[in-house]
Amino acid sequence: MKILTAAQMRRIDQQTIEAGFPGLLLMENAGHRVIEALEGIGTDSQAASQPRSRWGRGGRGIRRNRRGRPLREERVVIFCGKGNNGGDGLVVARHLLTRFTPVSLQVVLTVDPEEVTGDAAANLRLFEASGGRISREVSPDMQAATLLVDAMLGTGLEGPAREPVLSYIREWNKGFPLARRVAIDVPSGLSSDGLATGGEFCRVDGSVTFTALRLCHALPPFCDACGEVIVGHIGTPDSFLETDPEFNLSLITPDWLRFLAQPRDRNSHKGDYGHVLILGGSRAKPGAVGMAGLAALRTGAGLATVATVDSAVDRIVSIAPELMSASLAETADGFIEATALDGPFGDELIGGKTVLAAGPGMGVVPDTRAMLLSLMGTVPVPLVLDADALNILALESDWPGDGLLVLTPHPGEMARLMRTTTADVQANRVNRARTLAVARNATVVLKGQRTLIAFPDGEVWVNPTGSPAMATAGSGDVLTGTIASMLGQYPSQPKLAIAAAVYIHGLAGQLGALELGEASLMATDLLRYYPGAFARCATS
């Protein structure tokens, strides 16, 4: 699902109008999409991955409130501004008035009617001609509303909301104790480009937008403030979005991952599903590579081998008997020796493997640094690097190798790789991920809220799944093994394989948090919820 800036969306709308689709009809279609969402029949939700809908307590969308009231029995108040967003709200009001009699409907206009212009003015006249009436004030009887619709500002806001709309935003937020709250496009007062305006904005349960998502719908810090987001199609051809190379930011949706539901061939064997090699660990930190190897198996890899220092092998094998192991020569301090993979032993260990992952628990010492750089220059299979492998790369100006390289940094590791600060990375996540991916010809999985996947061609995908419960030791190691496993099983579609790994990992975290709580979830608990996450993708 595409994610656009406000400027890109304006350009798309203008292109649609120039192609012969009148603006008044776009507005009419937008109103229909909102009505459909309110009825609970909207189909394109960016939050479809969530274990439970945020809109109300039952069903899809906001079809029914907690007492089971259908739309025609709602007490609706719609706040409309003077621009196109207000025009969308007036279309909604007209259809509620004419199609859902005897709906209780009140419309609050934030400006004098004479200030409403263009297509919005035409829809104001249509609403009044249909018997609708408007108010300039929020009357006491409106406080009994069960449904609020925000159509005040939309996507054109620059800077904080100002009067007179600011007063209506404050009324919206402080009153209406029984109401569920829905924004058209974006909550009034928020920047659609996700910029911090420093002002107040409407608190909502969900948003209905059109054609594509905006940055604020998909990215922190305001994606949660938009609630569940439903995208309605109002007439813009899909080709307008697909052919422009500037539209290179997208949200991963469950329908992308339907390939995971394909049954395995009944004549298949373990060799058909990849052999993952996990390289890392040290005498003091043996568990990380074990978790990565176990995740590879739980995700579906046919075989997983963990290669670590000799003193850690027994502890690794005790994690799961299904894991194979390889003992590596170690230094006196318990780290992998620089020459541990030299010669026939290394060739035999790497030979026949489908994917190699390295870094968890490995340590950043001269020996591991030399070993990793030598390995990168010769490994013939996709390489997934995490943890200490990333910290080693951060010390290097030139990176060897030219194969498929996947980097999985958290913000601190990303800052070291780009020689900047963590604050800078967090303030410019999309730009920094894209820059590193293009510069290093690598796929960058920048972890965090709304994990990003940036590709060497400049495309960036946003993952909607995840939970604060995953902020715990070892969850990154589980992700490393999951990515390696998916690449081993789906070598012909590496982009989707990586996206599936990140999505499943995050969804398992959500499911685990629901059952165990955000504080109690451990990294190995994630593996218990992988089957449920796969099942949700298969039925989406």
Identify the pLDDT of residue 198.
82
Residues 441 and 379 placed together within one structural domain of the fold = yes
Residues 173 and 281 placed together within one structural domain of the fold = no
Identify the pLDDT of residue 476.
97
Q: Which of 245, 262, 291 is the last residue of a domain?
A: 245
Identify the pLDDT of residue 44.
54
**Is the per-residue pLDDT at 70 higher than 90?**
no
Q: Which of 245, 280, 311 is the last residue of a domain?
A: 245
Residues 346 and 240 placed together within one structural domain of the fold = no
Residues facing residue 278 across a β-bridge: 306, 357
Give a yes or no: residue 317 inside a domain. Answer: yes
Residue 80: which domain range? 3-245
Give a yes or no: residue 336 inside a domain. Answer: yes
Q: What whole-number percentage of the chain has pLDDT above 90?
A: 85
Give a yes or no: residue 324 inside a domain. Answer: yes
**Is the per-residue pLDDT at 88 higher than 70?**
yes
**Is the per-residue pLDDT at 197 higher than 90?**
no
Identify the pLDDT of residue 56.
43
Q: Where are the alpha helices (DSSP H) in 351-474?
A: 366-376, 388-393, 411-418, 422-427, 429-440
Give a yes or no: residue 211 inside a domain. Answer: yes
Query: What secondary structure letter does DSSP report for 265?
Result: P
Identify the pLDDT of residue 69.
64
Residues 324 and 220 placed together within one structural domain of the fold = no
Per-residue pLDDT averaged across 359-384, rounded?
96
Give a yes or no: residue 446 inside a domain. Answer: yes
| Per-residue tokens: 524 | 């190995």
Residues 231 and 365 placed together within one structural domain of the fold = no
Residues 351 and 448 placed together within one structural domain of the fold = yes
Cα–Cα distance for residue pair 387/385, rounded to 1 Å: 7
The number of distinct structural domains making up the chain is 2
pLDDT digits (tens, 9 = 90+) for 488-531: 999 999 999 999 999 999 999 999 999 999 999 999 999 999 99
CB 338, CB 367: distance < 8 Å: yes
CB 458, CB 434: distance < 8 Å: yes
Give a yes or no: residue 260 inside a domain. Answer: no
pLDDT digits (tens, 9 = 90+) for 262-281: 999 999 999 999 999 999 99
At 401, is the secondary structure helix, strand, or coil? coil
CB 226, CB 207: distance < 8 Å: yes
CATH of residue 408: 3.40.1190.20
Per-residue pLDDT averaged across 128-148, rounded?
96
Residues 509 and 404 placed together within one structural domain of the fold = yes
Residues 218 and 334 placed together within one structural domain of the fold = no
Residues 8 and 111 placed together within one structural domain of the fold = yes
pLDDT digits (tens, 9 = 90+) for 423-435: 999 999 999 999 9
Q: Residue 490's Cα: distance from chain center in Å?
A: 21
Residues 235 and 305 placed together within one structural domain of the fold = no
Residues 296 and 414 placed together within one structural domain of the fold = yes
Give a yes or no: residue 251 inside a domain. Answer: no
pLDDT digits (tens, 9 = 90+) for 241-250: 887 788 899 9
Identify the pLDDT of residue 41.
60
Give a yes or no: residue 257 inside a domain. Answer: no
| Per-residue tokens: 330 | 């170690």
Identify the pLDDT of residue 58.
35
Cα–Cα distance for residue pair 526/295, rounded to 1 Å: 9
Residues 31 and 89 placed together within one structural domain of the fold = yes
Task: Report whether the peptide linkage leading into residue 221 is cis, meaning its omega lies within 30 degrees of zero.
Answer: yes
**Is the per-residue pLDDT at 55 higher than 60?**
no
